[in-house]
Amino acid sequence: MNEEGRAYRDEPALQGLVEKFEVMIEHGDQAFFDVDELEGLIEHYLAEKSIRKAQLVARYAHQLYPANLSLKLKHAQIRIASGQGVKAVPILKELLDIEPLNEEVLITLGAVYSQMSEHKLAIDCFKRALVFADKESRREIRIDIALEFENMGAWKEAIRNLHEALEEDPLNETAVYELAFCYERTGQFKQAAEFYEQFLEKQPYSFAAWYSLGNALQQCGRYPQAIEAYDFAIAIESAFGPAYHQKAEALVAMERYQDALHTYEETLAFEDPSPGTRCYMGECLERIGDLERAETYYRDSLKLDPRFADAFVGLGVLADMQGRLREACSYFEQALEIEPKHADYHLLLGTCLKKLEDHDRAEEMYTQGLLLDIQHEEIWVERVDNLQLAMRHDDALLVIDDGLAALAGAASLNYRKFISLYATGQQKAAFDLLEHLLTHHYDQSEILLNFIPALANDARFTERIERYKP
């Protein structure tokens, strides 16, 4: 179909066309426009999201050129832009009956089917368009096909199409990122790392591939190699913020907090400070013991966004570390007010209340946290600890059984079960359980003396500890 209307995009001539058309409408006059000009006007108004004006052009165009196929396609595109994609389908099918090999019509129809969640029909249209497309168009169509497979959850097919896209055009950055997303969704981090390593042997200057390799390596726990990959991405694209942030995250995982702090500082040369960056910097300072500066950064984060929950958590952790428990609780409560469905925030507040010996409220917080994440082992453990500190061992045993059902026999809970069995005088059951735990999970046995120091004088306990010692 006629594509010359596109020549009017972003050209001075376009402004003259726009003025001519709008003066005509304002005065109710009639003026002549050729097909290319009308296409240019419609594309301009669609780009400006002026749907009503695009519709006016389309109506006038229909009066002048009622049988023109290019203008019919533009009419279909207007319907799509106005959220009436379903009504565009008959128009597009009519055009395909006339020109079954028209790439632009096939792509437009595919896009409509995608909006309608008719992904298989969309894929069929895109594949037909692929046969006739030039190299530049194929680059985009391959991505369209892959995205439809992603929408269907057909990750293997999406990955295959993205590989084909990169074989045709190794510089297709969208394909690189989408491939990383698909590998992430399928948990194939090792395969992703292997692919990007091979890809980079042929395309060593693809910063997107170095970045994606870093992410895959980081997911595999290969932090030094991930940092090296991020450094290559940064060397190629020095202002690519995500590489700095992921590098800092890897450094934190390696407990290199000073280096992570420096990496976050580097982003400030080309990014405005964000509440997240300020908060992460505060966490690094907290980890290296500079609590005063950490507090400053958390408060800076809240100046940028007064509802940034993680900053309240950071302030709460600092207050907790310094023994200001009621102040810490207040910060955790503010974080929960902002994000009430965050299980970790319930854990933090519950544990702070436990330290204040407010065991009833702590129990309430832990229970709410587990309603959000039934498999959160740390909440189960802290909940049991809270009950045991309150000497509510019968309740603790009931909670432990619930926790063991949710966590498939977690050793951390079974050790606490020994504590409550021992405390309630169920000696045989306690020591039978201990024998099992020492056989399979000896490394956690040290926690028992912290809870029941008297065990050090119980021969039944010390004899078993020595007997099962690795």
pLDDT in tens, 261-308: 999 999 999 999 999 999 999 999 999 999 999 999 999 999 999 999
Q: How far is it, in rounded angstroms, from Cα 24 to Cα 231? A: 58
The dihedrals phi and psi of 71, each to the nearest 5 degrees, come to: -75, -30
Q: Please, what's the largest Cα pairwise distance for the chain?
A: 106
Nearest alpha carbon to residue 180 among 143, 220, 212, 207: 212
What average pLDDT does range 209-213 have in this prediction?
95
Identify the band that residue 320 occupies on the pLDDT scale cut at 50, 70 and 90.
very high
Ramachandran angles phi, psi of 322, nearest 5°: -95, 10
DSSP 385-421: HHHHHTT-HHHHHHHHHHHHHHHTS-HHHHHHHHHHH
Within 10 angstroms of residue 331's Cβ, the number of other Cβ atoms is 25
pLDDT of residue 385: 96
* Per-residue buried b or exposed e for 61-71, using 16+ beta carbons within 10 Å of the residue's own CB: beeebeebbbb
The percentage of residues in the chain with a pLDDT greater than 90, rounded to a whole number, is 61
Where does the pLDDT of residue 383 fall: very low under 50, low under 70, confident under 90, or very high at 90 and above? very high
pLDDT bracket for residue 51 (50, 70, 90): confident
Cα gap 150→159, rounded to integer Å: 9
Average pLDDT of every residue of the chain:
89
Q: Which of 89-98, 158-167, 207-216, 230-239 bottoms out in mean pLDDT, i.e. has the lowest?
A: 89-98
pLDDT at 39 over 80: no
What average pLDDT does range 74-102 have in this prediction? 75
Count the neighbouring beta carbons within 10 Å of the beta carbon of residue 444: 14
pLDDT of residue 11: 65
Q: How far is 201 from 204, CA to CA, in rounded Å?
A: 6
pLDDT value at 18 more than 60: yes
114: nearest Cα among 86, 92, 142, 75? 86
CA angle 385, 386, 391 (to 5 degrees): 90
Q: What is the pLDDT of residue 9?
A: 52
Among 1-15, 50-64, 446-460, which stretch is predicted with the lowest mean pLDDT?
1-15
d(CA 250, CA 232): 15
Is it the case that residue 180 has pLDDT exceeding 60? yes
pLDDT band of 2, cuts 50, 70, 90? very low
- Tell me how far the alpha carbon of residue 69 is from its chain's centroid: 43
CB atoms within 10 A of CB 171: 12
Looking at 119-133, 213-227, 264-278, which range is the least confident one? 119-133
Q: How confident is the model at residue 217 (pLDDT cuts 50, 70, 90)?
A: very high
Structure confidence at residue 67 as a pLDDT band (50, 70, 90): low
Residue 260's pLDDT is: 97
Can you say whether residue 228 is alpha, beta or left, with left for phi > 0 and alpha for psi between -120 and 50 degrees? alpha
Q: How far apart are the C-alpha atoms of 383 and 312, rounded to whole Å?
A: 23
Segment 189-216 shows an average pLDDT of: 94
- As given in the structure block, the two tokens for residue 185 are 């969704």
pLDDT for 315 equals 98
Would you say residue 62 has pLDDT above 80?
A: no
Give the C-alpha separation, 195 to 218, whole Å: 15
* Predicted confidence (pLDDT) at residue 8 exceeds the cutoff of 70: no
**Is the pLDDT score of 68 beyond 90?**
no
Helix 411-423 and helix 427-440, axial crossing angle in degrees, nearest 10: 160
pLDDT number for residue 64: 64
Q: Which pLDDT score, from 0 to 100, does residue 107 have? A: 85
Across residues 138-160, what is the average pLDDT? 92
Query: What pLDDT sits at residue 4?
Result: 43
Average pLDDT over residues 128-135: 85
Query: Where do we find the tokens 């995982």?
Result: 253
Please check the confidence at residue 1 and state whether its pLDDT lies above 60: no
* pLDDT of amino acid 345: 98
Residues 343, 349, 353: CA angle, nearest 5 degrees? 140
